[in-house]
Structure 1
Amino acid sequence: MTLPPLDEVLDRLHVVALPLVARFRGIDTRELALIEGPEGWTEFSPFVEYDDRESSAWLAATLEYGWSSPPPAHRDSIPVNATVPAVPAASVPDVLARFPGCRTAKVKVADPGQRLADDVARVAAVRDAMGPEGRIRIDANGAWNLDEAEHAVRAMEHHDLEYVEQPCASIDELAELRRRIARLDIPVAADESVRKADDPLAVARAGAADLLVIKVQPLGGIRRALDIVAEAGLPVVVSSALDSAVGLSMGAALAASLPDLPYDCGLGTGALFAEDVAAYAAHDGALPVRRPVPDPALLERRAVDAERRRWWAERIARCHALLASG
């Protein structure tokens, strides 16, 4: 795809700050950029701490989605999981109530300042709420070392885990953990080892994961993500990066274009926002595949101040220059 001119991109820019219903990933408000492209609305939302090199892949995805049509779809709705932040166990039923119809829950664990006992209690509360038929996956975001990960998985194995996502940071640790827990029949999923790696295929080549969690913006767009999936040869879960409705639709377009989709996807995170830019949510546990249009009143109400808009515009300009330079 030919890179659109920077002026054209910035002329279509809106920057918003969306409040969350509960603290997630250490933030209470999600700041992100929305751009109205010729093919529809698109999103640029690398977290504010990400550097320009990493963020430029996100911009490539943004421009692809806004300036070209997505690949053909194999399905018109995407089954999604509930997402349970690192809340107290007593708050779990209220969180799950925001995800009606979801048969799977992803539970955040290993949150800074919490103990393994907090994680075990949270997972137990999810199991109690979902019953024996519910599916539970846990996500440590690479926070455990190898021994901590093995201990934690064994502490929660009786809750019938679907898989454990990025329990350790390194590929070597993932491979060794996979060996240690092989008899438990709990798959290991890689997320950060794909989206934050110089080589997103290294974890698959090393035999360090049973499945991959893929996110369209960090991987540089729908088509590049499809190429990675095809070459990796592993089943995948399409997930979000705490995107707005617009970014979630990009993930839904990727999930729809995959020939096989064996797992529920992490694209129901719109339920974590107290207010989003458009009405686009899962119903009966599934997200429709379509492009939402932001509400102008919401864009205005949630718009950031001039200084923050300038910060995002300058960030986009730097990332655009990196893409233009190859």
Structure 2
Amino acid sequence: MPFSRAISTHHGDSNSPGITPYGFVSEGTPLPPLEKILNTAHVISVGMRVTFRGVTTRHSALIRGPYGWGEFAPFPEYDDAEAAHWLSSALEATYLPPTVTVREQVPVNATLPAVPAHRVPDVLNNYNGDIQELKIKVAERGQTLDDDIARVAAARTALPSARLKIDANAGWTLPQAFTALTALSDYNLLYAEQPVGSISDMKQLRTQLDNAQVPVLIAADELVRKADDPLTVARAHAADLIVVKAAPLGGVRRASAVIAQSGLPAVISSALETSVGIATGVHLAASLPELPYGCGLGTVSLLDTDVSSTPLVAENGRIPVRPVAPEEARLKALAADHATRAWWLERIERCWRLLHRGYATADA
């Protein structure tokens, strides 16, 4: 869905027609009062079954509005300008009607954190039914390429017919990425997600892999969701496909616009949310005309528990399209301590003020 105007913020201007920095602002719906948002916010703490990106406990704020629930869960290290996109997404889910969907369920991949090879079977057992597609974390800080190869090999042994893909989170240099992908290509990878950190390195890596006839596609993730202009990587022809997460891009509408204007195949992924946030990602995936790859939306299985007794988890590689409302008893059981709650509410206020500034800029 194209947006009518670009909005300038201190985070940077969007140079792409129809793509605005904060999606909710561009929809013309009045920004909900801050007091109303804070009064409905439930800050929760959920333990992780395994360490994921260094995270052992996931914190987030669940917000209620006239159209249901949304989740605000930017990682603690993200600055306010980046976190404001996540608030935009949560407000879209709660204060705007849902967009049209074209399917009732979406295909998803399972996710394998950067665990030692001997733990791979145990982690995979957390998923329900057959795993048809698996994303494997690699390039973890403090680990080696040998660790990555052993993990991917263990996954291939456990899932001989599954489609495997890896995610490096920009953890390799260009030489390291070429060496790693050359070695890991022996395991018939579907694609490699964000192997390096810059657009120039991504372009060079694609060229090197092509010249060496290494059959691994390159997907861009951080270069989409963390960029001032999320379409730069597509215009530079630095990736074969893009990974899109609704919350970091400001919501379903803005993410849909990014996908449409990129002209590239898209994989919809999550940001380690509860089922409330996962429902937003599932809705985005269900609204797309094509889904050539499994979505990275099966991460609720990595949490110790969920805010719903009927969580959005995959059964035989598919997740149903439906909204999720947290249960009162679970919100109470998972409520964060006073200091954590205060920190998150203050963060919401700062991000709300950035969105409010976006409205002022748009009306100027």
TM-score range, shorter chain: over 0.9
Which residue does 1:93 correspond to in 2?
121
What letter matches 1:54 in structure 2? E
Looking at structure 1, the residues matched to 52 and 134 of structure 2 have their Cα atoms a distance apart, in angstroms, of: 15
Which residue does 1:152 correspond to in 2?
180
Looking at structure 2, the residues matched to 88 and 311 of structure 1 have their Cα atoms a distance apart, in angstroms, of: 34
What letter matches 1:184 in structure 2? V
Runs of 4+ in 1 over 6 A off after TM superposition: none
Alignment of structure 1 residues 164-179 onto 2, 5 Å: 164-179=192-207
SS of the equivalent of 2:70 reads strand
The size of the alignment, in residue pairs, is 325
Looking at structure 2, the residues matched to 62 and 207 of structure 1 have their Cα atoms a distance apart, in angstroms, of: 31
Which of 338, 344, 349 is residue 312 of structure 1 equivalent to?
344
**1:108 partnered with 2:142:** no
Looking at structure 1, the residues matched to 91 and 176 of structure 2 have their Cα atoms a distance apart, in angstroms, of: 40
Looking at structure 2, the residues matched to 260 and 70 of structure 1 have their Cα atoms a distance apart, in angstroms, of: 19
Looking at structure 1, the residues matched to 291 and 145 of structure 2 have their Cα atoms a distance apart, in angstroms, of: 32
Which residue does 1:32 correspond to in 2?
60
Which residue does 1:181 correspond to in 2?
209
**1:190 partnered with 2:210:** no
SS of the equivalent of 2:195 reads coil
Looking at structure 2, the residues matched to 29 and 101 of structure 1 have their Cα atoms a distance apart, in angstroms, of: 27
Looking at structure 2, the residues matched to 179 and 76 of structure 1 have their Cα atoms a distance apart, in angstroms, of: 39
**1:243 partnered with 2:273:** yes
Which residue does 1:282 correspond to in 2?
314
Which residue does 1:222 correspond to in 2?
252
Task: State the percentage of identical aligned residues.
Answer: 50
Deviation, 1:2, is 2.1
What whole-Å deviation, never above 9, does each CA across 1:180-203 have from its counterpart, x for those lacking one?
112222110000000011111010
SS of the equivalent of 1:324 reads helix
SS of the equivalent of 1:184 reads coil
Deviation, 1:102, is 2.3
TM-score (normalizing by structure 2): 0.88
SS of the equivalent of 2:69 reads strand
Structure 1 stretch displaced more, 42-51 or 302-311: 302-311
SS of the equivalent of 1:218 reads helix
What letter matches 1:84 in structure 2? L
What letter matches 1:107 in structure 2? I
Looking at structure 1, the residues matched to 62 and 249 of structure 2 have their Cα atoms a distance apart, in angstroms, of: 18
**1:135 partnered with 2:163:** yes
What letter matches 1:252 in structure 2? V
Which residue does 2:7 correspond to in 1?
none
Looking at structure 2, the residues matched to 200 and 18 of structure 1 have their Cα atoms a distance apart, in angstroms, of: 30
Alignment of structure 1 residues 117-136 onto 2, 5 Å: 117-131=146-160, 133-136=161-164
Which residue does 1:301 correspond to in 2?
333
TM-score (normalizing by structure 1): 0.98
Which of 60, 63, 66 is residue 88 of structure 2 equivalent to?
60
Looking at structure 2, the residues matched to 157 and 283 of structure 1 have their Cα atoms a distance apart, in angstroms, of: 28
Deviation, 1:101, is 2.2
Which residue does 2:47 correspond to in 1?
19
What letter matches 1:257 in structure 2? S
Looking at structure 1, the residues matched to 214 and 190 of structure 2 have their Cα atoms a distance apart, in angstroms, of: 11
Looking at structure 2, the residues matched to 78 and 7 of structure 1 have their Cα atoms a distance apart, in angstroms, of: 36
Which residue does 1:201 correspond to in 2?
231
Looking at structure 1, the residues matched to 131 and 38 of structure 2 have their Cα atoms a distance apart, in angstroms, of: 38
What whole-Å deviation, never above 9, does each CA across 1:263-310 have from its counterpart, x for those lacking one?
100000000001111122211211111111112111111101122111
What letter matches 1:116 in structure 2? L
Unaligned runs of 5+ in 1: none
Which residue does 1:75 correspond to in 2?
103
What letter matches 2:237 in structure 1? G
What letter matches 2:137 in structure 1? K
Looking at structure 2, the residues matched to 217 and 242 of structure 1 have their Cα atoms a distance apart, in angstroms, of: 11
Looking at structure 1, the residues matched to 133 and 122 of structure 2 have their Cα atoms a distance apart, in angstroms, of: 16
What whole-Å deviation, never above 9, does each CA across 1:89-122 have from its counterpart, x for those lacking one?
1111111112232201100001011110000000
**1:51 partnered with 2:51:** no
What letter matches 1:80 in structure 2? V
What whole-Å deviation, never above 9, does each CA across 1:47-105 have from its counterpart, x for those lacking one?
01111111111111110011112211010111110100010111111111122322011
What letter matches 1:105 in structure 2? L
SS of the equivalent of 2:249 reads coil
Alignment of structure 1 residues 263-282 onto 2, 5 Å: 263-278=293-308, 279-280=310-311, 281-282=313-314
